[in-house]
Structure formats: C-alpha cells, structure tokens
C-alpha cells in the first residue's frame, strides 16, 4: 500500500489540500492520519486499496453517505473525500474523536496503554465506567444509534468492538468506522470481524445486512455487559486452537450460546470466563431472556432477532432499576429483596429503598437521591430516553425532606396529604409521602401505593 508521509499534502475532492500531521493508527483496511485542512484538524482514513474488492464502488458509496449525512449525531461520519491519487489511493476526512471518549476495546480490556513517545514503553491506565448509570446509558445509546441507522435504510456491516468510542463518565457514544455502511442488501466486500459476524455470514450463505447487524449488535451488548464472548464456552475451549474449521463450527454451523437453557455443552469455564459467570447472576431475568433469545432462536432465524426498539425499552427499564442505597451499594433492584410494600431491602446494610409504580410502565422505579425520571416514562407515547423530566432531591430549606422536582416543560399535579391535587409547574417540586400520586397528564400517573390511584382524578381538569 502507499503510506502517506508526514507533511505530505493530499488534494481534496472539492478543492484545497489536507496536510498530513501524524499517524493515529492502522486498521484492516488502511491507516488513519491526523491532518489539517482549512485550519481545522481532522482524521483522514487512507485506504489500502489492495484490500478493497472494488475501490471505485466503495468510494462511490462513501460519497453517497457523505451526501446523505449521518443518521444521528452519534456517528463519526465521513465528511469530505480526497481526490484519488494516480495510483488509485484515496481517503476521507472525518472529525477527530474528542479526548473524553475511550475506545470500546480499552473498556473491554479495562485499561488503555499510555505509550512513552521516547522509549515506546507502554504503561497501563485503568478504563472503567464512572457509574452504573453511565454504563447502561452507553448501552441505550449504542442501541439507539443502530436504530437510527437502520431506520435510514442502511446497515453497518462490520459491527465490532473497534467501532465505538464511549465517554465513561456520561455514557455518550460515538460510532466510528462508518465507511462500510451501505444501503440494506448492498455489500462492498466487507465480511466482518470473527466473533461478531452473524452465523449465516460465517457459513457463507448471507452477506452483511440489517439482520446480521442485529446479531452483531447483540454480541456487542453482551460483551459490554457480561465482558465475555457469548459463544465461547467449554465446547470451544476444549478445541485449544481456534483453527479455521473450529471457527466455522463454533461461530457458524454449530454455534451454541454459553447459557443456552436447552444445551449445556458450552457453559463458561471458571478461571477463563469468570466475568460471564459472575455477571449472568447479576442481571435481571428479562435481560437474560433477551440474550437467550438472541443467541438461540436468533441464531437460525434472522427475522426473529430482537429489534433495536425492544432493546431500547429493556435497557431504559434496566437503567431505571438501578438503586444507589444509603450505604453506597449500587446495583440493580433485582439484587435487593423486594418487600410486600415494594420497597427494596439492601442485603448489605438492611435499609429499605422505596419505589414508584407508573400506570404506563410494567416495572417499579426505585427512589433514591439522584434517581431520575425520563420523558419516555412520564409522557405517554414518548420514546425519549435522554430528556430527564424528574429527579429525586432533598428540600434545600428543610434538610431530610425528600421530594421530586419537575424538570419537564409540563405542569404536573401531585396529591398532597390533604387529599387534594396541587399543580406542580416546571422547576417546582413536592414532597414524597405514603399516599402520593403524581398525575403527569395524558393519563400517565405514578404512585407509591397502587390503592391510592383509585380516587385519583382521571383527567387534569378535575377539581384540585
């Protein structure tokens, strides 16, 4: 391949030239350089055209994607094409990844390498999510990014751990390597990364498409939550060496999920797959079932794979089932003991965390300092999982009094101990008490005790 020299100028398709500043990294299809173009810094992906089947069609597809624009702001999308060199080499510019994002690979490794530029020696720096909410938010964001992409009629084709950057403090994500994204049913030669490819692609009977993306997405989600390979268990490890035929069997023809309820031949191995063994016990049943479905039924029946919207709902629920107990223990509500009054008892310190029921949700939302309600929970018909509409706070004037603050744009109504409903405008709050009922409007309500719903007004126009 033709490598670029530092300081070299590369002509851009629509005029001007980008100057190569330094190499940032290399991948299966080429090298990424830091470049300057019009006084701005960009990343230039420069292709090894020998590794691309039909460079002209590949380039044309990137051009189409540039013109179409990104499906959401979560994509590090191609921005400008370079002119092809006489040798055929070409590339495209994209934004540089912001510093606060870590690569998914580093998150899976739990560290990144800090390399001394002088000696080339590497030191390990830990990489971990700041808190559980950030981690589950990252999962929701990944799912949502692919929902947007698939809605735009395109497939990613090469979903793998190298394709994401994540802000471990907030759960914001960036999808990179967007150059193989193609209209559904089109493919420009990419197969995918071993371990992430759908079984039908491994078997050579299907090319990457939206349905194979869904399989790869499930692998990515599994890796992020369970920190292991969904298909690598006893059966695979016994082979010792992952030869080509072993790969074809274990990831294609005879793929068996490590927790397949009807086939225990491939269970995780203690000492090798400790993460998976530990985390499988921690997640609630509905999450486990979703992965069981993905990696049993979903292996042979691509059309039955879990759709992104379904994943999104499951993980929004999971995020709302996080409890940070008074003692500091943070975990999902299923790891607490649920009492008859729907409070959750901490097995470590014994204190109880109350929870709210919602008329339009089939799960309880635990209440602890800093817990949040989202638009998709308080507003009927909304699937907005980012807009925070409520938060549990302490009254600034009365220490110890806890209440809920309305962070939405709407006026809610809350039932007070006198049995009457009072309006709670945006930015206002109200204390929590045993008989509380919150009327978000549009027949969406929340309560501590379901019995109190009975005498709640059915419409916000009822007398207060």
Partner 1 sequence: MSEAMENAMANNDMLLDELDDDDPLNATGVSRKSLVIFFLIDTSGSMKGTKMGELNTVMEELIPEIRRVGEADTDVKVAVLTFSSRVMWMYSEPIAIEDFEWTRLRADGVTSMGAAFKELSIRMSRNSFLNSPTLSFAPVIFLMTDGYPSDDYKAGLEALQKNTWYKYGLKTALGIGKEANDDMLAEFTGSRDTVVHAYSGGQLAHLIKIIAVTSSQIGSKSMTLADSDHELGMEDVYEAKQKMLGQQIQEIVKSEGFDNTIPFDTGW
Show contacts with partner 1 in window 38-77 (CB under 8 A): 50-53
Q: Return the exposure string of 278-313: e unless at least 16 CB atoms fall within 10 Å of the residue's CB, then b.
A: eebeebbeebbebbbbbbbebbeebeebbebeebbb
Binder of partner 1 out of 65, 160, 212, 333 (CB under 8 A): 160
Specify whether the CB–CB gap between 425 and 406 falls below 8 A.
Answer: yes
Specify whether the CB–CB gap between 67 and 38 falls below 8 A.
Answer: no
* Of 252 and 298, CB closest to partner 1: 252
Contacts of 315 (CB under 8 A, 6+ apart): 136, 139, 140, 143
Task: Using alpha carbons, select from 178, 157, 144, 165 the residue that is nearest to residue 72.
Answer: 144
Q: Which residues pair with 402 in a beta bridge?
A: 394
Binder of partner 1 out of 9, 279, 363, 368 (CB under 8 A): 279
DSSP-derived secondary structure for 106-174? HHHHTEEEEE-TTT--EEEEE---SSHHHHHHHHHHHHHHHHHHHHTTEE-S--SGGGEEE-TTT--EE
**HSE, side-chain direction, 13 A CA sphere, residue 149:** 33
CB of 107 to partner 1, least distance (A): 8
# residues contacting partner 1 (CB under 8 A): 77
Q: How far is CA 416 from CA 50, 287, 309, 346, 402, in A?
A: 71, 36, 36, 29, 14
Judged by CB under 8 A, the chain residues 22 through 41 that form the site for partner 1 are 25-29
Question: Which part of the chain contacts partner 1 (CB under 8 A), choosing from 105-113, 254-262, 372-380, 436-444?
Answer: 105-113
DSSP-derived secondary structure for 291-352? HHHHHTHHHH-GGGSPPHHHHHHHHHHHHHTEEE-TTS-EEEGGGSEEPTTS-EE-TTT--E
Binder of partner 1 out of 33, 37, 101, 104 (CB under 8 A): 104
Q: Is 199 in the site for partner 1 (CB under 8 A)?
A: no
CB of 426 to partner 1, least distance (A): 34
CB of 447 to partner 1, least distance (A): 28
Q: Is 462 in the site for partner 1 (CB under 8 A)?
A: no
* Of 120 and 419, CB closest to partner 1: 120
Show the site string, 323-362: x = touches partner 1 by CB under 8 A, - = not. -------xxx--x---------------------------
CB of 236 to partner 1, least distance (A): 6
* Of 113 and 327, CB closest to partner 1: 113
CB of 216 to partner 1, least distance (A): 11
Question: Which part of the chain contacts partner 1 (CB under 8 A), choosing from 6-14, 157-165, 368-376, 432-440?
Answer: 157-165
Binder of partner 1 out of 56, 113, 169, 349 (CB under 8 A): 113
* Of 71 and 252, CB closest to partner 1: 252
Judged by CB under 8 A, the chain residues 307 through 326 that form the site for partner 1 are none
Q: Is 247 in the site for partner 1 (CB under 8 A)?
A: yes
Burial class (CB in 10 A: 0-12, 13-18, 19+), 328: exposed
Binder of partner 1 out of 65, 74, 187, 320 (CB under 8 A): 187
Judged by CB under 8 A, the chain residues 203 through 242 that form the site for partner 1 are 203-205, 207, 223, 227-229, 232, 236-237, 239-242
Q: How far is CA 305 from CA 40, 206, 301, 361, in A?
A: 42, 15, 7, 23
Three-state DSSP class for residue 17: strand
Q: Is 184 in the site for partner 1 (CB under 8 A)?
A: no
Question: Which part of the chain contacts partner 1 (CB under 8 A), choosing from 76-84, 276-284, 308-316, 400-408?
Answer: 276-284
CB of 141 to partner 1, least distance (A): 17
Q: Is 288 in the site for partner 1 (CB under 8 A)?
A: no
């Amino acid at each position: 391949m033709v490598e670029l020299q530092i300081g070299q100028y590369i002509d851009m398709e629509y005029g001007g030239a980008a100057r190569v500043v330094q190499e940032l990294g290399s991948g299966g299809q080429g090298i990424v350089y830091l470049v300057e173009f019009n006084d701005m810094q960009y990343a230039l992906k420069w292709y090894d055209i020998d590794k691309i089947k039909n460079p002209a069609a590949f380039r044309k597809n990137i051009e189409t994607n540039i013109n179409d624009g990104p499906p959401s702001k979560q994509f590090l999308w191609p921005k400008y094409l370079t002119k092809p060199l006489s040798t055929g080499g070409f590339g495209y510019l994209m934004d540089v990844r912001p510093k606060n994002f870590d690569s998914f690979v580093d998150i899976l490794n739990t560290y990144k390498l800090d390399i001394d530029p002088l000696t080339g020696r590497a030191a390990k720096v830990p990489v971990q999510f700041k808190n559980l909410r950030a981690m589950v938010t990252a999962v929701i964001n990944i799912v949502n990014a692919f929902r947007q992409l698939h809605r735009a009629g395109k497939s990613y084709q090469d979903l793998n751990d190298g394709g994401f950057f994540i802000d471990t403090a907030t759960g914001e994500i960036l999808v990179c390597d967007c150059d193989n994204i193609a209209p559904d049913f089109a493919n420009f030669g990419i197969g995918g990364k071993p371990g992430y490819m759908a079984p039908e692609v491994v078997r050579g009977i299907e090319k990457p498409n939206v349905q194979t993306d869904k399989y790869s997405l499930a692998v990515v989600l599994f890796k992020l939550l369970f920190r292991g390979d969904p298909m690598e268990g006893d059966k695979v490890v016994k082979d010792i060496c992952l030869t080509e035929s072993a790969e074809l069997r274990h990831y294609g023809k005879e793929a068996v999920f490590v927790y397949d309820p009807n086939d225990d031949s491939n269970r995780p191995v203690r000492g090798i797959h400790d993460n998976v063994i530990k985390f499988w016990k921690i997640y609630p049943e509905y999450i486990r079932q979703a992965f069981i479905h993905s990696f049993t039924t979903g292996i042979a029946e691509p059309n039955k794979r879990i759709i992104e919207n379904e994943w999104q709902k499951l993980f929004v629920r999971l995020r709302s089932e996080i409890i940070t107990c008074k003692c500091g223990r943070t975990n999902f509500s299923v790891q607490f003991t649920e009492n008859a009054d729907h409070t959750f008892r901490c097995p470590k310190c014994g204190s109880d965390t109350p929870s709210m029921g919602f008329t339009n949700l089939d799960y309880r939302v635990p209440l602890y300092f800093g817990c949040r309600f989202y638009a998709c929970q308080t507003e009927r018909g909304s699937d907005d999982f980012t807009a925070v509409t409520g938060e549990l706070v302490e009254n600034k004037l009365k220490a110890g009094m806890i209440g809920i603050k309305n962070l939405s744009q709407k006026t809610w109504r809350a039932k007070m101990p006198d049995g009457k409903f009072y309006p709670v405008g945006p930015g206002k709050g109200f204390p929590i008490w045993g008989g509380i009922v919150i009327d978000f409007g549009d027949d969406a309500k929340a309560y501590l005790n379901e019995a109190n719903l009975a005498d709640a007004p059915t419409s916000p126009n009822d007398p207060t």
